[in-house]
Amino acid sequence: MATAAPRPLTASDVKRSRRRRRALRAPYFFVAPAALLYVAFMLVPIVYALWLSFRGYRVQGGGILAARRQVFVGLSNYTDAVTDPDFLAGFGRLALYGLIAIPLTLGLALVFALLLDTYRVRARRFSRVAIFIPYAVPGVVASLMWGFLYLPGTSPFSHITRALGLGTIPFLDDPQVFFSIANIAIWGGIGFNMVVIYTALRGLPAEVYEAARLDGASEWQIAWRIKIPLVAPALVLTGLFSLIGTLQVYGEPTTLQPMTTSISATWVPLMTVYRDGFTRDNLPLASAESVLLALFTVVLSVALLRSTQRKAFQEEQ
C-alpha cells in the first residue's frame, strides 16, 4: 500500500518552527548572564585557590641567577596552616565570639518577631522598618560608629561614668572586647533574622491561634507551644546563616584594631589569611588556610542541618 507523500512546508510552518526554537532557547539566554558571572567570580576563584594551595615558593638557582619560583609542594601548606598557633588561636576566639553573638542575635530576633506577630500590637510596620534598618548599614560604617562609642575619649557612656566618678568603661580591653565586637554583629543582624522569622509566622494559619484562644490559651502559651515549634525551620535557617556569618567575621575586628591593642593582626582566621596573603606575600599558604576555613564551614553547616533533621524525624515518630 502506497504511503501518502509528506505535506510540503509552508511559510507559516517555518515561522512556527522558528518561534518554537526561540522559545526553547529563551530560558538559556536569561540564565546565561548569571551562570557566566557565577563561573567567573565563584567557580574559577575556588578552583584557582585549590590549585594554588598545593603550590609554594622556592628559591632556585644561585648568585645573580637566583629566582623565587612557584613549585608544587603537595600538602605542605596545609601542614603549616594546621600547625600555625595564630591560625588555631583565631578559631578559639571565633568560638567565644560565636557563643555570645549567635544566641543573642537569634533570641532577640525571635522575641521581636513574636511581639510583632501579636494581634494587639500597634505601629507594626514602623517597628519592622526600625528593627531592620541597622542591617542596611555597611559593616565597616557600623564598626566605625560603634568604635567611636567605645573609645574612652569619645564615648558618651564613659563620659557619664567619669562624671559619676566611676572612671571609663573598658569596652576595647580584654575580655570586654568580645562583647563589644559581638554587639556590632547583634545590632546589625537582628533585623534580617527577625524578618525571616516574622515572615514564617505570618504564613501560619490564623485558625490555629483562634482555636487556641477559644480553649483559653494565653498569648505566652500560644507563642511557646504553637508559634515557636511551627517556625522551627526558619529558626534553623537563621541559625545556619548566623553560623556562616560568624565564621566569616573580618570587618569588625579589622576596623577596631587600630583603636586597641587587644585585637591582634590574627584575631580571627580571616585576618590570619589576609596577613599571610597580602602582608607576608604567601598566597599559597593563604589559599590553604582559606580552603580549610571553607571546609570547616561546610562541615559545621552539614552537621547542624543533619542534627536538626534527625531531631525533627524523631519527634515525628
CB contact set of 60 (below 8 Å; sequence gap of 6+): 66, 67, 69, 71
What mean pLDDT is predicted for residues 94-100? 95
Q: What are the domain boundaries of the chain? A: 28-72, 76-316
User: Higher confidence at residue 101 or residue 217?
Assistant: 101
Cβ–Cβ < 8 Å for 243, 102? yes
- Buried b / exposed e across 201-228, counting CB within 10 Å, b at 16+? beeeeeeebeebeeeebebeebbeebbe
CB 182 within 8 A of CB 101: yes
pLDDT of residue 1 exceeding 60, the answer is: no
Span 209-218, pLDDT tens digits = 888 888 888 8
149-205 pLDDT tens trace? 999 888 999 899 998 888 899 999 988 999 999 999 999 999 999 999 999 998 888
What's the whole-number mean pLDDT along residues 79-104?
Answer: 94
pLDDT in tens, 18-73: 777 777 777 888 888 999 999 999 999 999 999 999 998 776 666 555 566 778 88
Q: State percent of the chain over pLDDT 70.
A: 90
pLDDT tops 60 at residue 139: yes
Q: Grid coordinates standing for 307?
A: 542534627
287/310: higher pLDDT: 287
Question: Rounded mean pLDDT of the chain?
Answer: 87
Whole-angstrom distance, CA of residue 38 vs CA of residue 290: 19
Domain 76-316 fold is: MetI-like fold (1.10.3720)
Average pLDDT over residues 76-84: 93
* pLDDT score of 6 more than 70: no
Contact 253, 271 (CB under 8 A): yes
The reported pLDDT for the residue numbered 74 is 87
One-letter amino acid for residue 165 of the chain: G
pLDDT (0 to 100) of residue 7: 60
Residue 72 main-chain phi, psi, to 5 deg: -75, 130
Report the alpha-carbon distance of residue 203 to residue 230 in Å, rounded. Answer: 10
Q: Which residues pair with 110 in a beta bridge?
A: none
**Per-residue pLDDT averaged across 232-259, rounded?**
92
Give pLDDT, residue 200.
92
Beta bridge partners of 68: 59
Nearest to 117 by CA among 214, 216, 215, 234: 234
CA dist., res. 197 & res. 44, Å (int): 35
Q: In this structure, are residues 74 and 54 in contact, taking their beta carbons and an 8 Å threshold?
A: yes
CA atoms within 13 A on the CB side of 155: 20
- Which of the pair, 271 or 223, is modelled with greater confidence? 271
Cis peptide upstream of residue 27 (ω within 30 degrees of 0): no
pLDDT of residue 98: 94
Give me the mean pLDDT over the 259-267 stretch.
Answer: 92
pLDDT at 225: 87
Query: How confident is the model at residue 28, as a pLDDT?
Result: 83
pLDDT at 78 over 70: yes
Where residue 13 falls among pLDDT bands split at 50, 70, 90? low
**207: pLDDT confidence band, cut at 50, 70 and 90?**
confident
Q: What pTM does this model have?
A: 0.84
